[in-house]
Amino acid sequence: MIHDLSKKNSILSKFIREIRDSEIQKDSMRFRRNLERIGEVMAYEISQELEYTQTEIVTPLASMDVPVLKDELVLATILRAGLPLHQGLLNYFDTADSAFVTAYRKYDSADEFTVEVDYLSAPDLTEKVLIITDPMIATGSSLYKSYKALLSRGIPKKIHVVAAIASAQGISFLKKKMGSDIKIWVGAVDLELTAKAYIVPGLGDAGDLAYGNKE
């Protein structure tokens, strides 16, 4: 169920290192591009688990059978932080449909918050392969509530979750809530989650680093 890509050496480790580095983070364009590249790596990894069918094509010299993606995909992301990661997957799965959810923390006090979902744009998900992206999985609450909102548009055939960095607690929460059929793809798993639900060492606020500070 859990695919922790940090457990094997690959170019992905460079992109994860750069989105964490506080000096490199000062370049928001590079931060967005690194999230996009992480999405591209994840798309390649997920592509090996999808269903294909053989289709005949004609080259200038002969005809031949080639594998073509059979699954219908929907790429869903949580606004606004998830947009660069979403774009990376869309670069590879360029015929996929897209879905967008707004999920945000509503603070009741300095340390206590609830997650609110107030917008959903999605096609019919029935029998599709749903890939949900969120650059950071802290508690897992935002992603879970987004997932529940998406299910109002139909029951997918398979569900994949993609994150650049996740906390161990967040992954445990999603496993408990979403079941063992969900596959989670993550660039790194961090062990600490603070009382305010910040991942340590983490990277900070992905949305602010990508698009500027919010009020």
Q: Any idea what the CATH number is for the domain that residue 139 is in?
A: 3.40.50.2020
In a domain, 58, yes or no: no
In a domain, 56, yes or no: no
In a domain, 84, yes or no: yes
Note the pLDDT tens digit of each residue in 9-46: 999 999 999 999 999 999 999 999 999 999 999 999 99
Spell out the residues 6+ positions from residue 205 whose beta carbon is closer than 8 angstroms to its own.
81
pLDDT at 107: 56
Tokens 């967005």 map to which residue? 32
In a domain, 34, yes or no: yes
Residue 38 structural domain:
2-50+71-211
In a domain, 65, yes or no: no
> What is the tally of structural domains in the chain?
1
Within 10 Å of residue 187's Cβ, how many Cβ atoms?
25
Residue 182 in this model has a pLDDT that exceeds 80:
yes
In a domain, 118, yes or no: yes
Q: At what angle do helices 168-178 and 141-150 cross, to 10 degrees?
A: 30
Q: Of 84, 63, 68, whose CA–CA distance to 164 is shortest?
A: 84
Q: For the purposes of burial, counting CB atoms within 10 Å of the CB of 151, is it exposed (0-12), middle (13-18) or buried (19 or more)?
A: middle
Note the pLDDT tens digit of each residue in 98-150: 999 987 666 555 555 555 778 899 999 999 999 999 999 999 988 998 999 99
In a domain, 57, yes or no: no
pLDDT at 35: 98
In a domain, 186, yes or no: yes
